[in-house]
């Protein structure tokens, strides 16, 4: 019985730690020309966490008139 209680406590602690781990990063927009040269770098990053960060990191680059813009998260 004591082993079962100890196992239950261990599983709950592990689950709680996994749920409270929040991944965050600072993201900014970057624009490159058709040669890959950075022509605009928003040097004021914004912090995104969890779902918002995942959305920024998975967003596809957008190309318009030979200029490609994308999110850079660090």
Q: Read off the pLDDT of residues 18-72 as tens digits, 9 standing for 90 and up.
A: 556 789 999 999 999 999 999 988 888 999 999 999 999 999 999 999 999 999 9
pTM for this predicted structure: 0.67
Detail the DSSP E strand segments found in the chain: 24-32, 38-41, 46-49, 62-64, 67-73
pLDDT at 1 exceeding the cut of 90: no
Q: Are 47 and 26 in contact (CB under 8 A)?
A: yes
Q: Widest CA span of the chain, in angstroms?
A: 69
pLDDT at 13 exceeding the cut of 90: no
Band of pLDDT at residue 6, cut at 50, 70 and 90: low
Give the span between the Cα atoms of 29 and 62, in whole angstroms. 11
pLDDT of 8 reads 61
């Amino acid at each position: 019985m004591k082993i079962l209680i100890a196992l239950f406590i261990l599983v709950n602690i592990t689950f709680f730690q996994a749920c409270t781990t929040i991944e965050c990063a600072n993201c900014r927009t970057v624009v490159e020309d058709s040669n890959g040269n950075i022509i605009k770098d928003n040097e004021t990053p914004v912090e995104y966490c969890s779902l918002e960060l995942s959305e920024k990191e998975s967003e596809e680059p957008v190309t318009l008139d030979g200029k490609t813009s994308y999110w850079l998260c660090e």
